[in-house]
Amino acid sequence: MLAPVTTAVFWLVQGSAITVFWVPFSWGLVVLWAASHFLRAIGLTLAFHRYFAHRAFEMTRGARFLWALAGTAAMQKGPIWWAGNHIDHHKHADREGDPHSPAMSGFYHAHIGWFLHDTRWKRVAATNPVVRDFGSVPELWFLDRYHWLPPLALALVMFGLGGWPWLAWGFCLPTVTLAHATFAINTVNHLWGTRRFATRDDSTNNAVTAFFAVGEGWHNNHHRYQRAACNGFYWWEFDPTYYAIRLMEWAGLAWNLQPVPARIYAEAAAGRPLVPAASRVLDPEQAPEA
C-alpha cells in the first residue's frame, strides 16, 4: 500500500476510538472491548513475540495459525514483519540499529514514527531468521502479505453482528488500546519502571504495561533472558500469555517450553543479597502487598 494511504488509515483508526461516545453505553460492550483487546494481545505476544521471534516453545501448526491470525487482526502488520523487526530490536537494543529506541530517536519515533514514516524498517532482510525459517510457510506468508485482511474482516464481522456499537467497542477502541499497549513496550518499558537485571539496554519492568500487554511489561526480565516462555519470572508477575501457553501444553497443543535457567534466578537474587536464590517468593520488595 502507498505510504500516504497507510498513514491515513492509521490515523483514521486512531481517531475512530472516539466513536464509543456516540453509541449507547452498556457493560456488555466493555466485555466486548476486553475480549477483542486481550485475545488479539495474546495473538501478538504468544505467536508473534514468544514463538516467531524467540522460539520460546513449540506448538501445532493449527494452533500457530490461529494465534498468528488473532495477532494479525490486531492491525500491527504481519507476523514475519513484526517478529523480524523485533529480532533487530534485541540485537541492537538502545543502540544504533534498534528500530525503536526512545534513547536514540525520541519518544514519538520509538512509539509510532519508526513503522509509519521510517522506510528503513519497511522490509525485513532475507537473512533475518524469522524470514529464513517461516517466510515460505504458505499460511504465514499469506498472513504477512495480506496483513490488512484479518483486521478488515474483524471490523466487518463486528458491524454485521452488532452494528455501530459493536464496531466501536469491538474493533475501533480495542485496536487503539492494543496498539498503544504494544507501542508502550518499546517506549514506556525503555524509560520507566524497575530494573532487576543490569542489562546493556534501558529495559524496565512495569506492572501497568504488563497488564495491558498481557505479560510483556516484564521487559527487563525479557531482555535479560529472551528465550523463556514466560516474561514474568515470579508467580506474582502477572503473565497471562504464559498461562495460555501452559494451558496449551496441558491440552497437548504446545511443548518444549523454555524455562528460566537457575543461573538467571541466582543473578536476580545476587542483586538483592538478603534473598537466597532458591526462595523466589520471599523477596519483600517484590512480593505483592499483604
Site residues (vs Zn ion, CB under 5 A): 203
Which cell numbers hold the place of 258? 523454555
In 49-123, which ranges are E strands? Answer: 58-59
The smaller minimum CB distance to Zn ion, of residues 40 and 222, is found at: 222
Phi first, then psi, for residue 218 (nearest 5°) are: -85, 60
Q: Going by C-beta distance under 8 Å and a sequence separation of 6 or more, which residues neighbour residue 266? A: 277
Residue 101 Cβ, how far from Zn ion at the closest point, in Å? 8
Radius of gyration of the chain measured on its C-alpha atoms:
19
Shortest distance in whole angstroms from residue 222 CB to Zn ion? 6
Q: Which residues on adjacent β-strands are paired with residue 58?
A: 255
Query: 203 or 209, CB closer to Zn ion?
Result: 203
CB of 190 to Zn ion, least distance (A): 6
Q: Closer to Zn ion by CB, 32 or 229: give it.
A: 229
Residue closer to Zn ion by CB (options 165, 217) is 217
Question: Please, are residues 54 and 227 in contact by the beta-carbon 8 Å criterion?
Answer: yes
User: How much helix, strand and coil, in percent to the nearest 5, is found in the chain?
Assistant: 60, 0, 35
Beta-sheet strands, E only, within the chain: 58-59, 254-255
Least distance from Zn ion to the Cβ atom of residue 226, Å: 5
- Return the number of the residue (68 or 158) whose C-beta is nearest Zn ion: 68
Instruction: Tell me how far apart the alpha carbons of residues 170 and 33 are, in angstroms, rounded to a whole number.
Output: 5
Complex with Zn ion: residue 72 or 203, whichever CB lies closer: 203
CB 196 within 8 A of CB 265: no
Residue nearest to Zn ion (CB): 203
Region at 157 (left for phi over 0; alpha for psi -120 to 50; beta for the rest): alpha
From the CB of 164, what's the least distance to Zn ion, in Å? 37
* Minimum gap (Å) between residue 202 Cβ and Zn ion: 8
